[in-house]
């Protein structure tokens, strides 16, 4: 029986290998010589990296690496490990012909002949989609864990705040009765007034704790945030002090929101005061507003996207270390020196944002400053 031409081709091992390489387009499969110069190229290499065979054969494979990786000697390291251990596997960013980057999974195998290294076989796969999906999943898991932690702290805080509030009510009422007693001398009146001032301070702390635990009673009303900010601008400037350069950058035509105005003003004042305290030798604070369209709150990845108006306070202070940034919204946590802060300012901002249906976020870079944003949902259907 005579063989068909196609059968003859498939029986030829060399032609079989060539057909295989030409058929694979999901992987870049190519050969390197012993110094790392490209000797062969397949259609997968052209699809993934953008080079035609005539453009790339004879070039060093390090051109696929990012400049940072080349500077660290990663291409030579990969060849050395493959030569020494028989295989090198890694993942990292690579560069296409057009300059764009993709996340790659690579394998390098040494090729030996009669005990002599004659080159390397290299396989590259584009795993950008998988990598980005993993990154999104990690971000979501981290946000969920942080949300659950803050919810647990909030429940504990709410219970303590209610109990403390009940105790303060008894203390304040008792002090009022003592102060009203006839015949009380001046010294007694001074002590009562001092105790009442301390009780008022405790009541303020209780309100801040209730705000964090979402137990504060809000009285929301439809508001234009820019108008509210402009109305209190002189207060914010005074809060900054004489060593701070205070600027604003308010976006025009923002849609309205429904918020408790007093709690909102307290939140913005807390943010400005925190930024001021981060710059004891002076600096810049920028109060800005912007529309954040079709956004999902970080702690609610399954929620439907919607529009938010964000108020941001940015400073150029010393910043907050990365390992502390996840804790900044916790009650009583502060990066200030002992006696210079209660640690309830940002927790009030966080609680107010959450109870208003929004969220708070922080971005900080060491020695470059901090930006805290308070994002509030717009009134649905508002223009």
Average predicted confidence (pLDDT) for the chain: 83
Identify whether 323 is part of a domain.
Answer: yes
The answer to whether residues 231 and 373 belong to one domain is: yes
| Residues β-bridged to residue 306 | 295
Same structural domain for residues 120 and 165? no
Q: What is the pLDDT along the chain (383 residues), one digit of tens a residue?
A: 444 554 544 456 656 656 666 666 788 999 999 999 999 999 989 999 999 999 999 999 999 999 999 999 999 999 999 999 999 999 999 999 999 999 999 999 999 998 899 999 999 999 999 999 888 888 777 777 766 776 776 677 766 777 777 778 888 888 888 878 777 677 878 888 888 887 777 776 776 666 666 656 678 899 999 999 999 999 899 889 888 999 999 999 999 999 988 889 888 988 998 888 888 888 999 999 999 998 888 777 778 889 999 999 999 988 888 878 777 777 666 665 544 555 566 877 888 888 888 999 999 987 788 999 999 999 976 65
User: Would 383 be classed as within a structural domain?
Assistant: no
User: Under 8 Å CB-to-CB from 255, ≥6 apart: which residues?
Assistant: 291, 307, 309, 378, 379, 382, 383
pLDDT at position 324, please? 81
Note whether 185 and 277 are same-domain residues.
Answer: no
For residue 277, give the CATH number of its domain: 3.30.565.10
List, for residues 24-80, the tens digit of each pLDDT value: 678 899 999 999 999 999 998 999 999 999 999 999 999 999 999 999 999 999 999
Q: Strand 244-250 relative to strand 283-295: parallel, antiparallel, unpaired?
A: parallel
CATH number, domain containing residue 143: 1.10.287
Beta strands in 127-278 (DSSP E): 221-223, 244-250, 257-259
> Of 184, 212, 240, at which residue does a domain stop?
212
Are 275 and 187 found together in one domain? no
Q: Are residues 313 and 241 in the same domain?
A: yes
Contact 65, 94 (CB under 8 A): yes
The per-residue b/e assignment along 303-330, b for 16 or more CB within 10 angstroms, e otherwise, is eeebbbbbbbbbbbbbbbeeeeeeebbb
Separation of alpha carbons 284 and 316, rounded Å: 6
| Closest residue by Cα to residue 348 from 372, 316, 319 | 372
382 inside domain: no
**Domain identity same for 87 and 207:** no
Residue 369's DSSP bridge partners are 365
Q: Are residues 226 and 274 in the same domain?
A: yes
In a domain, 291, yes or no: yes
Let me know if residue 83 belongs to a domain.
yes
In a domain, 152, yes or no: yes
Whether residues 230 and 371 share a domain: the answer is yes
Tell me the C-alpha distance between 90 and 312, whole Å. 40
Asked which of 212, 243, 278 is the last residue of a domain, the reply is 212
CATH of the domain at 120: 3.30.450.20
The reply to whether 97 and 156 lie within a common domain is: no
Q: Of 126, 156, 174, which one is at a domain's C-terminal end?
A: 126
Indicate if 244 and 318 belong to the same structural domain: yes
Residues 208 and 226 in one domain: no
342 φ, ψ to 5°? -85, -20
Residue 345 contacts residue 270 (beta carbons within 8 Å) = yes
Query: Within a domain: residue 80?
Result: yes
Domain that includes residue 96, residue range: 5-126
| Spatial separation of the C-alpha atoms in residues 14 and 130, rounded to whole Å | 34
Tally of domains within the chain = 3
Calpha distance 360→264 (Å, rounded): 12
Residue 66 lies in a domain: yes
pLDDT (tens digit per residue) in 304-352 = 889 999 999 999 988 888 878 777 777 666 665 544 555 566 877 888 8
Query: Is residue 379 within 8 Å of 353, Cβ to Cβ?
Result: no
Same domain assignment for residues 346 and 240: yes
Residues 87, 107: contact at Cβ < 8 Å?
A: yes
């Amino acid at each position: 029986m005579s063989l068909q031409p196609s059968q003859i081709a498939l029986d030829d091992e060399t032609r079989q290998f060539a057909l295989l390489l030409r058929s694979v387009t999901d992987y870049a499969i190519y050969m390197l010589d012993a110094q790392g110069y490209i000797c062969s190229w397949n259609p997968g290499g052209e699809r993934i990296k953008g080079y035609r065979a005539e453009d790339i054969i004879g070039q060093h494979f390090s051109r696929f690496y990012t400049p940072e990786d080349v500077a660290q000697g990663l291409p030579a390291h990969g060849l050395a490990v493959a030569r020494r251990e028989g295989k090198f596997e890694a993942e990292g960013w690579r560069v296409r012909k057009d300059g764009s980057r993709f996340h790659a999974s690579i394998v390098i195998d040494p090729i030996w002949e009669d005990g002599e290294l004659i080159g390397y076989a290299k396989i590259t796969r584009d795993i950008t989609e998988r990598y980005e999906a993993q990154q999104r999943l990690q971000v979501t898991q981290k946000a969920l864990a942080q949300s659950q932690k803050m919810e647990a702290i909030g429940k504990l805080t709410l219970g303590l705040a209610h109990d403390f509030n009940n105790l303060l009510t008894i203390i304040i009422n008792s002090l009022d009765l003592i102060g009203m007693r006839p015949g009380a001398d001046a010294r007694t009146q001074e002590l009562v007034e001092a105790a009442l001032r301390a009780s008022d301070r405790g009541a303020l702390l209780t309100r801040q704790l209730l705000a964090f635990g979402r137990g504060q009673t809000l009285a929301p009303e439809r508001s234009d945030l820019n108008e509210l900010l402009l109305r209190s601008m002189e207060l914010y400037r005074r809060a900054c002090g004489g060593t701070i350069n205070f600027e604003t950058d308010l976006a025009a035509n923002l849609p309205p929101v429904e918020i408790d105005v007093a709690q909102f003003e307290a939140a913005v004042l807390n943010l400005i005061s925190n930024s001021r305290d981060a710059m004891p030798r002076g600096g810049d604070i920028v109060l800005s507003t912007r529309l954040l369209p079709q956004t999902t709150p970080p702690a609610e990845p399954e929620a439907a996207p919607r529009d938010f108006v964000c108020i941001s306070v940015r400073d150029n202070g010393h910043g907050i270390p990365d390992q502390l940034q996840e804790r900044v919204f916790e009650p009583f946590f502060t990066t200030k020196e002992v006696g210079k802060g209660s640690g309830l300012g940002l927790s009030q901002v966080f609680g107010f944002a959450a109870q208003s249906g929004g969220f708070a976020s922080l971005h900080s870079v060491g020695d470059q400053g901090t930006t805290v944003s308070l994002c509030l949902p717009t009134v649905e259907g508002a223009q």
